């Protein structure tokens, strides 16, 4: 307005959007990710998703970094977004290392998300690739704060057995805390209750994501990761067009 007033002619200031956006890949490395009944382990599928997204962001000249969390022995490992591919390589190398054996799972997703926001500029893009087969209501405050300054994408990594257990008779399972559980998978009521509990947790996550305007892109261990990500994006585009 000062130039317009001085020369008595309308002038506009044009802002050019900065191309170098910060992209952060938050990847779950907890013992519960070493699980898979079809295709591959959750940890492997999560690493594949991080690699595809990271390379795509790097090709767009974005600053790529990441956080690996959930491993009780290694703790939280933070690779700050930077130009080039150094931070991305460090994250991907970390994801290839074997996790801690015979360790109890720790729920540190909220702490990882808080750490991810430190020093990030407004407009950053954060991908959370994790096992969301958990109670997620407690994540709403931290996700809400994160969403105020950044775009967030949640990528749950699912195995078919998360949703439904096939009838196999009495089966022994050992949890990450070392406890041995014996379950009668021929019990129809127990299987129905198991499936209903999973669907309730996923509905809660979907409702939370919609309320905070967060993109939800589930991937599955038995499906091709590239096609899964493309299908999720296409579905998102169709829903916006309606």
Q: What is the pLDDT of residues 139-166, one digit of tens each?
A: 899 999 889 989 999 999 999 999 998 8
Mean pLDDT of all residues in 49-64 = 93
- Distance from the first to the final alpha carbon of the chain: 40
- The CA distances from residue 38 to 83, 159, 186, in Å, are 37, 7, 20
Mean pLDDT of all residues in 24-50 = 93
pLDDT (tens digit per residue) in 175-190: 666 778 888 888 999 8
CA separation for the pair 161, 36 (Å, rounded): 8
Nearest CA to 116 among 105, 130, 127? 127
Largest CA distance in the chain: 86
Check residue 4 and give its pLDDT: 79
- The number of beta carbons lying within 10 Å of the beta carbon of residue 50 is 23
Higher pLDDT, 119 or 26: 26
Q: Strand pairing of 215-216 and 124-130? A: unpaired
CA separation for the pair 59, 78 (Å, rounded): 22
- Residue 156 sits in a domain of what CATH number? 3.40.50.410
Helices (H), the chain: 2-7, 42-59, 86-96, 109-117, 140-149, 160-163, 188-212, 225-241
Q: Has residue 74 been placed in a domain?
A: yes
Which residue is listed with tokens 């990761």?
225
Higher pLDDT, 7 or 50: 50
Helix (H, G, I), strand (E, B) or coil at 130: strand
Check residue 12 and give its pLDDT: 80
Check residue 198 and give its pLDDT: 94
| Structural domains of the chain, count | 1
Global pTM reads 0.84
Q: Has residue 12 been placed in a domain?
A: no
- CB of 150 within 8 A of CB of 125? yes
Q: Has residue 75 been placed in a domain?
A: yes
Query: Residue 105 pLDDT > 90, yes or no?
Result: no
Residues β-bridged to residue 64: 23, 82
pLDDT band (50, 70, 90) for residue 104: low
Query: Residue 96 pLDDT > 80, yes or no?
Result: yes
Q: Has residue 183 been placed in a domain?
A: yes
Tokens at 161, concatenated: 């057995």
Range of the domain at 189: 18-241
- CB of 62 within 8 A of CB of 21? yes
Q: Has residue 13 been placed in a domain?
A: no
Q: Has residue 7 been placed in a domain?
A: no
């Amino acid at each position: 307005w000062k130039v317009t007033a001085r020369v008595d002619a309308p002038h506009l200031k044009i802002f050019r959007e900065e191309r170098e956006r910060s992209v952060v890949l938050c990847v779950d490395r907890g013992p519960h990710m070493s699980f898979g009944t079809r295709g591959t382990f959750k940890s492997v599928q999560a690493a594949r998703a991080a690699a595809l997204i990271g390379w795509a962001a790097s090709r767009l000249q974005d600053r790529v970094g990441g956080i690996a969390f959930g491993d009780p022995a290694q703790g939280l490992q933070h690779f700050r977004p930077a130009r080039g591919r150094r931070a991305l390589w460090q994250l991907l190398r970390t994801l290839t290392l074997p996790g801690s054996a015979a360790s109890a799972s720790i729920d540190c997703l909220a702490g990882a998300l808080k750490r991810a926001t430190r020093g990030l500029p407004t407009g950053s893009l954060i991908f959370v690739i994790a096992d969301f087969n958990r109670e997620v209501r407690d994540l709403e405050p931290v996700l809400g704060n994160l969403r105020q300054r950044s775009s967030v994408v949640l990528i749950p990594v699912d195995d078919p057995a998360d949703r439904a257990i096939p009838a196999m008779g009495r089966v022994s399972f050992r949890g990450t805390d070392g406890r041995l559980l014996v379950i009668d998978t021929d019990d129809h009521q127990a299987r129905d209750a198991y499936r209903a509990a999973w669907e309730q947790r996923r509905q809660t996550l979907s409702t939370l994501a919609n309320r905070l305007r967060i993109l939800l892109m589930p991937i599955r261990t038995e499906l091709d990761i590239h096609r899964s990500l493309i299908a999720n994006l296409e579905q998102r585009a169709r829903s916006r067009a309606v």
